[in-house]
């Protein structure tokens, strides 16, 4: 097999217990790279509009990239890919830690899980293949308990475990997969798909590092990229010191820090929940990195109650803080621990709760609807803890919250209160303050998402160059470039944070040396464009209307009421037509045949 690829797929049918091994063609690998690209290519051939997201026919794919499990900086990522129960569209959720590296070292590029087991099970994967074990005694356990019990009963102390908590079992539509207790394939409900299959965990044990064609050359390139990361102030100082929570005060000062369910763009309690506060209050104990990561942005924390864990990250402390009008960092951290143990996406959980608070404020949710739970008032720490737990456990009003904000707001006759795109909740940047990020949200192929094209990098941080956040001219070009390059990074098995420093040529060097394909930068970027367009085609096949390339009405029509960006709305109508044109799509947002022929995506 070529380079650092294992060259093999392991298929497991939970209904029959049958396992099969498939070989990967060199041509497909070169065109789709691995990870996100290869997983989406395979998913496209397995599902259609009639595939129920929570039905046994929806496959769950664990996909590594050619750099997963190598010494390449941040090379520990994997993707969980399926049809999303939250959006109905393609779900492709990225996680770090060491699980992805371990899967590659077990000799598999991808693991495809199909069918549904009659009773709860977990799957053990090594170089010989896979076997299925009963998990009935684990059903109902949280992710920490599950991990500890499996490691104890298997005696495989060095194995890596990805599992679900009660949220996945209860089919919470934004349930996530947690690996190694603290890393999450967090968005789009991949944990609910795992739960729908009665699959509690996947355990992997590897023994063999992937080898590049020319090991010395590969290591020389790796050392050069690590040196770049170790010299940059973002990856060598800001992220190791403050983690992603370096952003709280920065985004608030810009006026793009969504507050009280995006009703405002600044929060007067930001300094109390920011990364600096995590240190000054003594909650931060140390930082931690994933596999082969020189950045080490993870936060190991402890609250005054004595509870310990990792996080909160920037997105979590915002979703469970400013978005709900809460400024108690200890409570936010505790809610984050609850999500990690129960297995829930903190962004969707927090934004759905904020949506519920606004619905309650408007009198649409009644006190009787809460089934004895506390009132859903903005700023209520009691509500945050109570309903986070109730949602993850599928109890009381939590069963409604577990459907996500779009379904909740629709149920109460106010769909405009859901701050979501294509059914997935928006993250921690108000696009009225950053126009390019607004276009990125609207065109995202997995719904409300910041990591499909992180325009905050140029619009706020000035990386790779500073853009005027309120300008719309030229933003379509930037969004396309970021979307295509991000598809490459996700497919390679690297972390997106590396892109604060590394550029396209750096990724070309790493991919060429690891695979032996000798990519040009142009060919590599075309791979990213191919992957993006394949996802678009798959979403259209699954029933997406291109009219869903939009934002909540509030962001398009209601100006920010105060702060540095007071009076601004998102001027999406100025950017979207240009984006479609640059993409090679028609005016309705459908890829044209000339483009598909160029990318080799015609049937």
What single string gives the DSSP state of each residue in 2-71? -TT---EEEEEETTT--EEEEEPPHHHHHHH-SHHHHHHHHHHTT--TT--TTSTTS-EEEEE-TTTTSS
- State whether 577 and 457 are in the same domain: yes
In a domain, 147, yes or no: yes
- 496 and 585 part of one domain: yes
Whether 85 has a pLDDT exceeding 80, the answer reads yes
Distance CA 415, CA 355 (A): 10
Output Rg (C-alpha) for the chain, integer angstroms: 22
The whole-number pLDDT of residue 156 equals 83
Calculate the dihedral angle through the C-alpha atoms of 515, 517, 523, 528, rounding to the nearest 10 degrees: -20
For 24, what's the count of Cα atoms within 13 Å in the CB-facing half-sphere? 33
Start-end of H helices in 182-301 = 190-196, 215-231, 233, 239-242, 247-254, 270-273, 275-280
Per residue in 7-34, pLDDT (tens digit) is 999 999 999 999 999 999 999 999 999 9
What pLDDT does 221 receive? 98
pLDDT, residue 122, reads: 98
Q: 196 and 129, same structural domain?
A: yes
CB atoms < 10 A from the CB of 161, how many? 27
438 and 465 inside one domain:
yes
DSSP state letter for 211? -
Do 15 and 150 belong together in one domain?
yes
For residue 404, the domain's CATH number is 1.10.569.10
Cα–Cα distance, 305 to 431 (Å, whole number): 36
pLDDT 10s digits, 386-445: 999 999 999 999 999 999 999 999 999 999 999 999 999 999 999 999 999 999 999 999
Helix axis angle, 346-361 to 381-393, nearest 10°: 120
Q: Check whether residue 62 and residue 193 sit in a common domain.
A: yes
Q: How far apart are CA 320 and CA 439, in angstroms?
A: 25
495 contacts 77 by C-beta, under 8 angstroms: yes
Number of domains in the chain: 3
Judge if 21 and 78 occupy the same domain. yes
Judgement on whether residues 437 and 413 belong to the same structural domain of the protein:
no
Phi, psi at 115, each rounded to 5°: 75, -170
Nearest 5°: phi and psi at 267? Answer: -130, 125
Say how far apart CA 551 and CA 602 lie, in whole Å. Answer: 30
Stretch (H or E) spanning 197 = none
Q: Is residue 3 part of a domain?
A: no
* Rounded Cα–Cα distance for residues 476 and 246 (Å): 27
pLDDT tens-digit readout, 95-148: 999 999 999 999 999 999 999 999 999 999 999 999 999 999 999 999 999 999
Within a domain: 32: yes
Strand ordering across the sheet containing 284-288 = 284-288, 298-302, 308-310
* 3-state DSSP of 394-452: CCCCHHHHCCCHHHHHHHCCCHHHCCEECCEECCCCCCCCCHHHHHHHHHCECECCCCC
pLDDT at position 1, please?
A: 58
Of 422, 454, 474, which one is at a domain's C-terminal end? 422
Domain limits at 109? 8-204
4 C-beta neighbours (distance < 10 Å), count? 29
pLDDT at 160 over 90: yes
Where does a domain end: 422, 455, 472? 422
Q: Is residue 229 part of a domain?
A: no
Confidence of residue 603 (pLDDT cuts 50, 70, 90): low
Pick the last residue of a domain from 422, 443, 468. 422
Are the C-beta atoms of 1 and 455 separated by less than 8 Å?
A: no
- Residue 157: per-residue pLDDT: 84
CA–CA distance, 524 with 506 (Å, rounded to integer): 11
Are the beta carbons of 426 and 451 closer than 8 angstroms? Answer: no
332 and 465 fall within a common domain: no
Does any domain span residue 443?
A: yes
Residues 329 and 398 in one domain: yes
Instruction: Give the Cα separation of 9 and 45 in Å (integer).
Output: 15
220 is a domain residue: no
Q: What percent of the chain has pLDDT over 70?
A: 100
Which tens digits make up the pLDDT trace of 261-317? 999 999 999 999 999 999 999 999 999 999 999 999 999 999 999 999 999 999 999
3-state secondary structure of 480: helix
165 belongs to a structural domain: yes
Please indicate, yes or no, if residue 105 is contained in any of the structural domains.
yes
Tell me the whole-structure pTM to 2 decimals.
0.98
Spatial contact of 519 and 512, defined as CB atoms under 8 Å apart:
yes
- The answer to whether residues 83 and 178 belong to one domain is yes
CATH of the domain at 132: 3.60.9.10
Q: Exposure of 30 by Cβ count < 10 A (0-12 exposed, 13-18 middle, 19+ buried)?
A: middle
323 and 450 part of one domain: no
């Amino acid at each position: 097999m070529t380079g650092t690829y294992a060259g093999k797929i392991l298929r497991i049918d939970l209904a029959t217990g049958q396992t099969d091994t498939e070989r990967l063609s060199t041509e497909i690998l070169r065109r789709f790279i691995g990870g996100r690209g290869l997983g989406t290519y395979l998913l496209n051939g397995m599902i259609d509009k009639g595939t129920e997201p929570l039905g046994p026919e929806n496959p769950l794919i664990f996909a590594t990239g050619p750099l997963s499990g190598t010494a390449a900086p941040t090379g520990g990522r994997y993707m969980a890919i399926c049809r999303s129960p939250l959006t109905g569209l393609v779900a492709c959720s990225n996680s770090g830690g060491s699980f992805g590296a371990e899967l590659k070292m077990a000799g598999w590029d991808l693991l495809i899980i199909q069918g549904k087991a009659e009773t709860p099970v977990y799957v053990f994967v090594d170089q010989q293949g896979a076997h299925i074990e009963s998990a009935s005694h684990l059903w109902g356990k949280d992710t920490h308990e599950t991990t500890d019990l499996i490691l104890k009963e298997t005696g495989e102390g060095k194995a890596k475990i990805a599992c679900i908590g009660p949220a996945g079992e209860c089919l919470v539509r934004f349930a996530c997969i947690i690996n190694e207790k603290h890393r999450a394939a967090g968005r789009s409900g991949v944990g609910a798909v795992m739960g729908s299959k009665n699959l509690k965990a996947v355990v992997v044990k590897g023994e063999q590092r992937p080898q590049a064609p020319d090991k010395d050359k590969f290591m020389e390139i790796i050392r050069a990229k690590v040196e770049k990361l170790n010299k940059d102030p973002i990856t060598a100082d800001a992220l190791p010191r403050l983690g992603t929570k370096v952003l709280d005060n920065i985004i608030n000062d810009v006026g793009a820090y969504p507050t009280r369910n995006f009703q405002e763009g600044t929060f007067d309690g930001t300094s109390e929940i920011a990364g600096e506060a995590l240190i000054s209050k003594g909650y931060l104990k140390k930082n931690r990195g994933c596999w082969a990561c020189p950045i080490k942005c993870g936060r190991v924390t402890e609250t005054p109650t004595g509870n310990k864990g990792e996080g909160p990250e920037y997105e979590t402390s915002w979703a469970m803080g400013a978005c709900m009008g809460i400024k108690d960092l200890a409570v936010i951290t505790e809610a984050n621990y609850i999500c990690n143990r129960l297995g829930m996406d903190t962004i969707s959980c927090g934004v759905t709760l904020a949506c519920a608070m606004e619905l309650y404020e408007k009198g649409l949710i009644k006190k009787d609807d809460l089934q004895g739970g506390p009132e859903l008032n903005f700023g209520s720490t009691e509500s945050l803890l109570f309903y986070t737990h109730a949602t993850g456990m599928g109890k009381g009003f939590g069963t409604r919250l577990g459907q996500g904000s779009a379904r909740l707001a629709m149920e109460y006759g106010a769909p405009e209160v859901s701050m979501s795109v294509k059914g997935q909740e928006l993250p921690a940047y108000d696009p009225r303050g950053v126009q390019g990020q607004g276009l990125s949200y609207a065109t995202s192929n997995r719904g409300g998402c910041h990591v499909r094209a992180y325009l905050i990098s140029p619009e706020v941080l000035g990386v790779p160059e500073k853009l005027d956040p309120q300008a719309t001219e030229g933003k379509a070009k930037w969004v396309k470039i970021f979307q295509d390059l991000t598809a490459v990074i996700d497919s390679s098995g690297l972390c997106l944070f590396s892109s604060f420093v590394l550029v396209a040529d750096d990724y070309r060097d790493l991919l060429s040396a690891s695979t032996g394909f000798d990519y040009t930068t142009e060919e590599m970027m075309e791979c990213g464009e191919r992957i993006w367009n394949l996802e678009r085609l798959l979403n259209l096949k699954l029933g997406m209307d291109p009219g869903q390339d939009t934002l909540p009405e509030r962001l398009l029509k209601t100006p920010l009421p105060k702060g540095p960006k007071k009076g601004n709305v998102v001027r999406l109508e100025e950017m979207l037509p240009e984006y479609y044109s640059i993409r090679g799509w028609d005016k309705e947002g459908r890829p044209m045949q000339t483009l598909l022929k160029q990318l080799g995506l015609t049937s």
